[in-house]
Chains A and B, each alone.
Chain A
Amino acid sequence: MRRLPLLLVAIVLVAAAALARPVRRLVRSWEARVAVAGGSMAPGIQDGDWLLVDPDAWRTDAPVPGDLVLLADPRLPERLLVKRVHARLPDGTLDVRGDAPDASTDSRTFGPVEPGSLLGRPWLRVVPLRRAGRVR
């Protein structure tokens, strides 16, 4: 019965390969987590939420309208913003907006942003626990 261990090894290898990416994504996203300050993304994302952010999300794919993005504030790059892509402009820049327009400073004020200013994709809320889960 030399076949069984081989099969087992094969299954383990396949499982590890299948899990490697999601696990890596989760670990990287945990390291890149942010606390949200302010209500410009209400009601979906609220003041005080903790979000896991996939820092690799936009390395290969370009965001499309509707995607959540973490980005550097074009006026003060060390400051992080969370916004939603409103439109991709013909020149490749992005119009980003808050979900609550009256409480948001966004591309309407500071203009479109460069794709290079994107720092990741917020995708999972971990705090508060009662609202934990995917955000989109």
Chain B
Amino acid sequence: MDLRRALAPSRTAHAHCDIPCGIYDPAQARIEAESCYRMIEKYHASSDEVFRARCLSVKEARAEETKHHIDVMWHDYFKPEHLEKYPDLHDVCWKAAKQASLVKRTVDLEEAKKLLALIDRIDEMWKGTNGPAATRMPA
């Protein structure tokens, strides 16, 4: 064992995924988008102006996070061969990011629902490209 240690290379050549953790999961975007949805619900259910203002503030922050996580999936997770399998990949991601921007500025619950549906389509593509096995830590 000492011999092995003496001979061991001092340098490591990396042959794995990214410098960041390499964990990509649309659930991150979905949770933020669900927060937006709930904030819009709570906004409409309340008559307390201060509370309503907090709902808007939280919703806008969460919508920005949603957009960020959609972008990470789009730019970092998806690769050219995924596009071959899902030719509408760019279109779906683009629409989802735009929808997140829309949800940031609206209190229309329907728009928040559309955002969730678009994230679910990203989720389908993630699952269809072996995403869970490639990026999730085994339990």
Chain A interface (Cβ within 8 Å of chain B)? 32-41, 45, 47, 50-51, 53, 70, 73, 75-76, 79-83, 98, 101-105, 108-109, 122
Contact B13 A109 (CB under 8 A): no
B8 within 8 A of A: yes
- Contacts A33-B9, A101-B81 given; indicate if A38 touches B19 (C-beta within 8 A): no
Main secondary structure of the interface of B (DSSP, over half): loop
> Shortest Cβ distance from A33 into chain B, in angstroms?
4
Interface residue range, chain B: 10 to 19
Residues of chain B contacted by A75 (CB below 8 angstroms): 19
How many angstroms between the C-alpha atoms of A41 and B81 in the bound complex? 17
Contact B15 A36 (CB under 8 A): yes
> Shortest Cβ distance from A4 into chain B, in angstroms?
42
> Shortest Cβ distance from B45 into chain A, in angstroms?
44
- Contacts A79-B19, A102-B134 given; indicate if A108 touches B79 (C-beta within 8 A): yes
How many angstroms between the C-alpha atoms of A104 and B81 in the bound complex? 13
How many angstroms between the C-alpha atoms of A83 and B16 in the bound complex? 10
Residues of chain B contacted by A45 (CB below 8 angstroms): 15
Contact A37 B13 (CB under 8 A): yes
Q: For chain B residues 42-82, which have a beta carbon within 8 Å of chain A?
A: 76, 79-81
How many angstroms between the C-alpha atoms of A35 and B9 in the bound complex? 6
Per a CB cutoff under 8 Å, which of B8, B14, B79 touches A50?
B8
How many angstroms between the C-alpha atoms of A81 and B13 in the bound complex? 5
Contact B12 A80 (CB under 8 A): yes
Residues of chain A contacted by B16 (CB below 8 angstroms): 37-40, 103-105
Which 9 A-B pairs rank lowest in CB-CB distance, beginning with the nearest?
A: A38-B16, A34-B13, A38-B15, A82-B13, A40-B15, A33-B9, A35-B9, A105-B18, A80-B13
